[in-house]
């Protein structure tokens, strides 16, 4: 079905007329949805104005493969100006949808529009999120290799159409079809069965997101360290199909997270200063920064005589546990892990 000329013809005819009728502002402007990725908004904007996403590239003066995912990574000033002018959206709202730059950039899934087995595709999605959306859209965190599940629904992300095994290719959609339908076989991605991810792997995933966020706010150099350790997760997990996380399919990365969730977090902590390792370990042990803060609040609650709720004392003395852990993490202890 790829490159089918009959699919493209319809949209091209619209595009030529479109320039005449919509010289000043495009007839329909749509607001970005929470966390929406620029390309997702562009596909919705195109359809709302009666033009297929593949042809909308021409309206923006663009061409070539994966035109909209490339804009997510680098939005040329001329295109940004055109979008602001034609939609009336403030420039900051448009640039906030891009994924350009930042400490997390190495974790972006590569722009690959083929979908070889076990290899990553450029985009993931949660079928439950798409099903719950009034206007189904793709979220920015789904572009990251460090994300394998949906925090809202607890299910695994998907990166392929289950019917034809192709990746998401809404940018190549030549007809007026919303982006939650596979661009090749029209399978409704909202109907994809739920993928399961073990709870321990989901806690590890959340902890990694939080470690990167906390360290980016404190010390960007530490984020680089965390990011490079996350990229090497397949090596630490001994997943044989790849060495770099960004190259693995979502299913292979889920296996990777599950394998590492069952091991001590040495791969994330070894060879670093004790204070930094301690902070990371606390976040991993709690299953995320927010979980850590809420446990700390509970701890204060219990130890400051709050009468609101009585909790049983912790099963283990955490202070002693941390002290023991850091004793074996010290250089020269002979127990430093790999
Ligand atoms: Zn979801
Ligand atoms: Zn398909």
For residue 151, how far is its CA from the centre of ligand 1 (angstroms)? 7
217 and 184 in one domain? no
For residue 72, how far is its CA from the centre of ligand 1 (angstroms)? 21
Find the ligand nearest to 131 CA. 1
- Three-state SS annotation for 237-305: HCCCCCCCHHHECHHHHHHHHHHHHCCCCHHHHCCCCHHHHHHHHHHHHHCCHHHHHHHHHHHHHHHCC
pLDDT less than 70: residues of the chain = 1-23, 241, 305-338
166 and 224 in one domain? no
**Does residue 248 fall inside a structural domain?**
no
Check residue 64 and give its pLDDT: 84
Check residue 326 and give its pLDDT: 52
152 and 18 in one domain? yes
Return the bridge partners of 16, or none.
none
163 and 230 in one domain? no
Could you tell me the pTM of the whole model? 0.81
Query: Each residue of 276-302: pLDDT tens digit?
Result: 899 899 999 888 777 777 777 777 777
For residue 33, how far is its CA from the centre of ligand 2 (angstroms)? 25
**Does residue 88 fall inside a structural domain?**
yes
**Does residue 100 fall inside a structural domain?**
yes
Number of domains in the chain: 2
Check residue 321 and give its pLDDT: 56
What tokens were used for 10?
A: 């319809």
Query: Each residue of 262-280: pLDDT tens digit?
Result: 999 999 999 999 988 998 9
**Does residue 42 fall inside a structural domain?**
yes
Taking Cα atoms as reference points, which of 36, 14, 34 lies closest to residue 26? 14
Q: Please, which residues have CB within 8 angstroms of residue 235's CB and are 6 or more apart in sequence? A: 243
Structural domain harbouring 145: 5-191
In our burial notation (b when 16+ CB lie closer than 10 A, e otherwise), range 165-198 reads ebbbbbbbbbbebbbbbbbbeebbbbebeebebe
**Does residue 117 fall inside a structural domain?**
yes
**Does residue 338 fall inside a structural domain?**
no
216 and 174 in one domain? no
Collapsing DSSP to helix, strand or coil, 306 comes out as coil
Q: How far apart are CA 96 and CA 268, in angstroms?
A: 30
For residue 195, how far is its CA from the centre of ligand 1 (angstroms)? 11
328-332 contacts, C-beta under 8 A, 24 or more apart: 329/269, 329/270, 329/274, 329/277, 330/274
Check residue 333 and give its pLDDT: 45
**Does residue 227 fall inside a structural domain?**
yes
Find the ligand nearest to 156 CA. 1
What are the C-alpha distances in Å from 221 to residues 215, 244, 338? 8, 20, 22
Check residue 102 and give its pLDDT: 83
89 and 37 in one domain? yes
163 and 207 in one domain? no
Torsion of CA 271, 276, 278, 280, to 10 degrees: -90
221 and 160 in one domain? no
Query: Each residue of 33-55: pLDDT tens digit?
Result: 999 999 999 999 999 999 999 99
**Does residue 137 fall inside a structural domain?**
yes
Quote the mean pLDDT of the chain: 85
Find the ligand nearest to 127 CA. 1
145 and 267 in one domain? no
Q: Please, which residues have CB within 8 angstroms of residue 102's CB and are 6 or more apart in sequence? A: none
317 and 299 in one domain? yes
168 and 307 in one domain? no
72 and 213 in one domain? no
**DSSP type of residue 208:** H
For residue 86, how far is its CA from the centre of ligand 1 (angstroms)? 32
């Amino acid at each position: 079905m790829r490159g089918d000329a009959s699919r493209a013809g319809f949209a091209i005819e619209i595009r030529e007329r479109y320039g005449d009728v919509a010289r000043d502002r495009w007839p329909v402007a749509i607001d970005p949805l929470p966390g929406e990725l620029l390309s997702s908004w562009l596909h919705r904007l195109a359809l709302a104005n009666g033009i297929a996403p593949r042809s909308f590239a021409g309206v923006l003066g663009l061409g070539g493969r994966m035109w909209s995912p490339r804009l997510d990574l680098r939005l040329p000033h001329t295109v940004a100006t055109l979008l602001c002018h034609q939609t009336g959206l403030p420039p900051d709202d448009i640039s906030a949808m891009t994924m350009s730059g930042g400490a997390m950039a190495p974790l972006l899934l590569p722009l690959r529009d083929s979908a070889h087995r076990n290899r990553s595709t450029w985009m993931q999605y949660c079928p439950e999120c798409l099903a719950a959306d009034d206007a189904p859209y793709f979220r920015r965190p789904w572009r990251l290799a460090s994300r394998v599940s949906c925090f809202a629904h607890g299910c695994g992300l998907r990166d392929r159409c289950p019917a034809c095994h192709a990746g998401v290719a809404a940018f190549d959609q030549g007809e007026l079809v919303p982006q939650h339908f596979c661009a090749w076989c029209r399978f409704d991605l909202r109907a994809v069965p739920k993928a399961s991810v073990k709870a321990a792997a989901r806690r590890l995933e959340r902890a990694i997101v939080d470690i990167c966020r906390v360290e980016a706010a404190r010390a960007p150099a530490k984020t680089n360290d965390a990011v490079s350790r996350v990229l090497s997760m397949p090596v630490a997990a001994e997943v044989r199909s790849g060495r770099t996380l960004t190259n693995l399919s979502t299913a292979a990365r889920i296996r990777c997270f599950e394998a590492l969730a069952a091991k001590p977090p040495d791969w994330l902590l070894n060879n670093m200063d004790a204070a930094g390792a301690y902070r990371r370990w606390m976040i991993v042990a709690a299953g995320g920064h927010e979980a850590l803060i809420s446990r700390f609040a509970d701890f204060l609650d219990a130890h400051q005589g709050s009468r609101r709720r009585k909790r049983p004392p912790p099963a283990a003395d955490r202070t002693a546990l941390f002290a023991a852990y850091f004793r074996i993490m010290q250089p020269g202890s002979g127990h430093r892990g790999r």
